[in-house]
Amino acid sequence: MQVFEACIFDLDGVIVDTAVYHFKAWKRLANELGFNFTEAQNEKLKGISRVKSLELILEWGGIEKSADEQQVLATRKNEWYVDMIHHMTPEEILPGTKELLDNLRAAGIKTALGSASKNATVILEKVGILPLFDALVDGNTVSASKPDPEVFLKGAEALGISPAKCIVFEDAIAGVQAAKAAGMKVVGIGEQDVLGEADLVVSSLEQIDMQTLTNLYSK
């Protein structure tokens, strides 16, 4: 039987749910610019970079800003967001996450983070699971946004594991597509009708155990 050797996790919506903090920060920025920002719009920002997110928000608000002005706005939003995530606690880890990470480590399976977030290290430190990752690949080390596979390929490279022996955990369509483009198996965390391109879709990491992953990889 074939055996997988590594698992690569997205951050937001898989390990923790920081969407609420992104939403609050983006909404505050939009309101200061004179327009509203909805939760439905926030959902459309899943898995994409801060710069691209700002471009979309300005477009929705019908506002044009120069590149320098956009940089100032993106920095301001991030300062608000970082202030909020510095108050995160271990209680904010999504159900089943720590148990799965512990089980993977006990089984000798390597783990990496593959996220567009530039604040991943801070978040993992605050929720107390940074030591459970063998490698971190985030928005500070990649240049291409998902669905480009760069973040996952760099994760496999950092672990010294072939992409074909990796399983990815993702909650966004772009992330699922990135994992598939990297030649990896992917578990979607969310709704089947949204993440149907994934090899397996579950509503929570609580539904994942070592046997499930072994069966998935062997298909």
- Asked, for residue 1, whether it belongs to a domain, the answer is no
Residues 6 or more apart whose Cβ sits within 8 Å of residue 196? 188
Catalytic residues: 10, 12
Domain boundary among 34, 52, 86: 86
In the block, tokens 């089943």 appear at 96
Domains in the chain, number: 2
How far is the C-alpha of 6 from the C-alpha of 134, rounded, in Å?
A: 10
Q: Does residue 149 belong to any structural domain of this protein?
A: yes
1 has a pLDDT exceeding 90: no
pLDDT in tens, 137-167: 998 999 888 999 999 999 999 999 999 999 9
Residue 98 annotated as binding? Answer: no
Among 7, 215, 219, 194, smallest CA distance to 97 is for: 7
Q: pTM for the whole thing?
A: 0.86
Of 36, 59, 86, the domain-final residue: 86
Looking at the structure, tell me whether residues 109 and 156 fall in a common domain: yes
- pLDDT category, 219, cuts 50, 70, 90? confident
Residue-range definition of the domain harbouring residue 198: 6-16+93-216
pLDDT given at position 2: 64
CA angle 17, 116, 47 (to 5 degrees): 65
Q: Are 34 and 65 found together in one domain?
A: yes
Which pLDDT score is estimated for 46?
Answer: 76
pLDDT tens digit string along 129-141? Answer: 999 999 999 989 9
Question: Which value, to the nearest 10 degrees, does the dihedral of the CA atoms of residues 174, 175, 177, 182 take?
Answer: 140
> Is residue 17 annotated as involved in ligand binding?
no
The token duo for 6 is: 């590594």
Is the backbone peptide bond immediately before 163 cis, with ω within 30 degrees of 0? no
Q: Is 66 known as a binding-site position?
A: no
Classify residue 179: in a domain, yes or no: yes
Give residue 160's identity as a one-letter amino acid code: G
Q: What is the pLDDT of residue 19?
A: 81
pLDDT confidence of residue 210: 94
Please tell me whether residues 108 and 41 are part of one structural domain: no
Q: What is the CATH number of the domain that holds 148?
A: 3.40.50.1000
Look at residue 152 and tell me if it is in a domain.
Answer: yes
Assign 3 a pLDDT band (cuts: 50, 70, 90): confident
Is the same domain home to 114 and 176? yes
Tell me: do 155 and 202 sit in the same domain.
yes
Domain-ending residue, one of 68, 86, 104:
86
pLDDT digits (tens, 9 = 90+) for 74-115: 999 999 999 999 999 999 999 999 999 999 999 999 999 999
Is there a binding annotation on residue 48? yes
Strand partners, 93: 16
| 97 and 74, same domain (yes or no) | no
Radius of gyration, alpha carbons of the chain:
17
